[in-house]
């Protein structure tokens, strides 16, 4: 696959860090117009209380509104297991199309079973406005973006590239954070390695924006790096680590990890493009499947 890389366009990228989930949401603006896209928004949840609020999303909305921008796209790099998407809330305020990788259908099939969803839960991705295939392009104003299929962390992960900026989702963390786990259903450490190599084959100067940062070893939160920095310094794949080494390390490491705190509400909401499921009477309601994850 040859991707339509265009390093001559430099989008304006505004990052919004969510402290509760260590997620970074982005507003990406076409430098030649007033059009923008959002990558990986966050809906706030107090899971113990079953309470959903929109402070983080409201900050994104406020920035877009105050600058008079038009929102073309609300993109999910994948079905997140650690935070809930605010895509439908943002769409209801600002418009824009909600897009995700076409392999979402695999994720819907897998977790449709885990949550014992009935036939009313469609497993064809129809909850989303757009399903991206590898190499698909789209426009944000005059700026072309494209989706790069990067499975491994999940089977539906995509990295999104606009001009000289790539949004890595959970393929990579900052160089001192390494990579994301590959042990969720449908995840695969070998595929993740191959996907990371794809990202590292982008131009060295490509800016890379992470979806998460946990500030390893007490450093301040960061989210921006470059392909060159990742190739040289990434602690899991940098310096030419082999596929075999990576798979061994990743598999052993993943076996030690706890489930993300918000995996149960996140999957139910995110596999529905950010909509909270409802019970038979139409009340918003989340389930807890016992011993299924
Ligand atoms: Fe993730």
pLDDT of residue 293: 87
pLDDT band at 25 (very low <50, low <70, confident <90, very high): very high
Domain assignment present for residue 53? The answer is: yes
For ligand 1, the distance from its centroid to the CA atom of residue 286, given in whole angstroms, is: 20
Q: Take residue 38 and report the two structure tokens written for it.
A: 């959002």
What average pLDDT does the chain have? 97
For ligand 1, the distance from its centroid to the CA atom of residue 153, given in whole angstroms, is: 7
Q: Is the pLDDT of residue 189 over 90?
A: yes
Q: Is the pLDDT of residue 240 over 90?
A: no
Q: What is the pLDDT of residues 61-109, one digit of tens each?
A: 999 999 999 999 999 999 999 999 999 999 999 999 999 999 999 999 9
For ligand 1, the distance from its centroid to the CA atom of residue 82, given in whole angstroms, is: 7
Structural domains in the chain (count): 1
Domain assignment present for residue 282? The answer is: no
CA distance 79 to 101: 9
For ligand 1, the distance from its centroid to the CA atom of residue 33, given in whole angstroms, is: 31
In this structure, what CATH number is given to the domain that contains residue 46? 3.60.15.10
Domain assignment present for residue 277? The answer is: no
**pTM for this one?**
0.97
Domain assignment present for residue 250? The answer is: yes
For ligand 1, the distance from its centroid to the CA atom of residue 66, given in whole angstroms, is: 30
Work out whether the CA dihedral 144, 193, 224, 271 comes out positive or negative: positive
Q: Is the pLDDT of residue 215 over 90?
A: yes
CA distance 114 to 150: 24
Q: What is the pLDDT of residues 113-144, one digit of tens each?
A: 999 999 989 999 999 999 999 999 999 999 99
- What does DSSP assign to residue 166? E
CA distance 140 to 206: 18
What residues contact 126, with CB distance under 8 A and at least 6 apart?
none
CA distance 273 to 278: 14
Give me the numbers of helices (H) and strands (E) for the chain, helices first please: 7, 14
**Read out DSSP for 78-135?**
S--SSSB--HHHHHHHH--EEEEETTHHHHHHHHHHHTT--TTS--SSTTSSEEEPTT
For ligand 1, the distance from its centroid to the CA atom of residue 163, given in whole angstroms, is: 24
Using alpha carbons, select from 278, 272, 240 the residue that is nearest to residue 84. Answer: 272
Structural domain including 27 reads: 12-270
Domain assignment present for residue 284? The answer is: no
Q: What is the pLDDT of residues 262-275, one digit of tens each?
A: 999 999 999 999 99
For ligand 1, the distance from its centroid to the CA atom of residue 212, given in whole angstroms, is: 8
CA atoms within 13 A on the CB side of 272: 19
For ligand 1, the distance from its centroid to the CA atom of residue 81, given in whole angstroms, is: 6
Q: Take residue 128 and report the two structure tokens written for it.
A: 């989303």
Domain assignment present for residue 281? The answer is: no
For ligand 1, the distance from its centroid to the CA atom of residue 133, given in whole angstroms, is: 19
Q: What is the pLDDT of residues 145-157, one digit of tens each?
A: 999 999 999 999 9
Average confidence (pLDDT) over 170-188: 96
């Amino acid at each position: 696959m040859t991707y339509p890389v265009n390093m001559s366009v430099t989008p304006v990228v505004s990052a919004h860090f969510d402290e509760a989930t260590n997620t970074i949401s982005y507003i990406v603006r076409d430098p030649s117009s007033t059009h923008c896209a959002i990558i990986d928004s966050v809906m706030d949840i107090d899971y113990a209380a079953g309470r959903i609020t929109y402070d983080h999303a409201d900050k994104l909305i406020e920035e877009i509104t105050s600058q008079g921008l038009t929102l073309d796209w609300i993109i999910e790099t994948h079905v997140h297991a650690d935070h809930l998407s605010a895509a439908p809330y943002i769409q209801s305020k600002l418009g824009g199309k909600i897009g995700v990788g076409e392999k979402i259908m695999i994720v819907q099939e897998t977790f449709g079973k885990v949550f014992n969803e009935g036939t009313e839960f469609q497993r064809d991705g129809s909850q989303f406005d757009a399903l991206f295939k590898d190499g698909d392009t789209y426009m944000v104003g005059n700026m072309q973006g494209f989706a790069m299929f990067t499975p491994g962390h999940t089977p539906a992960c995509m990295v999104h590239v606009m001009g000289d900026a790539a949004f890595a989702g959970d393929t990579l963390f900052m160089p001192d954070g390494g990579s994301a786990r590959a042990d969720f259903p449908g995840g695969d450490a070998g595929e993740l390695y191959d996907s990371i190599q794809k990202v590292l084959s982008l131009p060295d100067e490509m800016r890379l924006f992470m979806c998460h940062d946990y500030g390893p070893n007490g450093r301040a939160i960061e989210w921006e790096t470059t392909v060159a920095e990742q190739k040289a310094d990434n602690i899991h794949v940098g310096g030419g680590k082999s596929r075999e080494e990576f798979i061994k390390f990743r598999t052993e490491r993943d076996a030690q990890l706890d489930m993300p705190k918000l995996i149960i509400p996140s999957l139910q909401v995110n596999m529905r493009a950010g909509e909270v499921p409802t019970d038979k009477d139409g009340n918003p309601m989340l389930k807890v499947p016992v011993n299924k994850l």
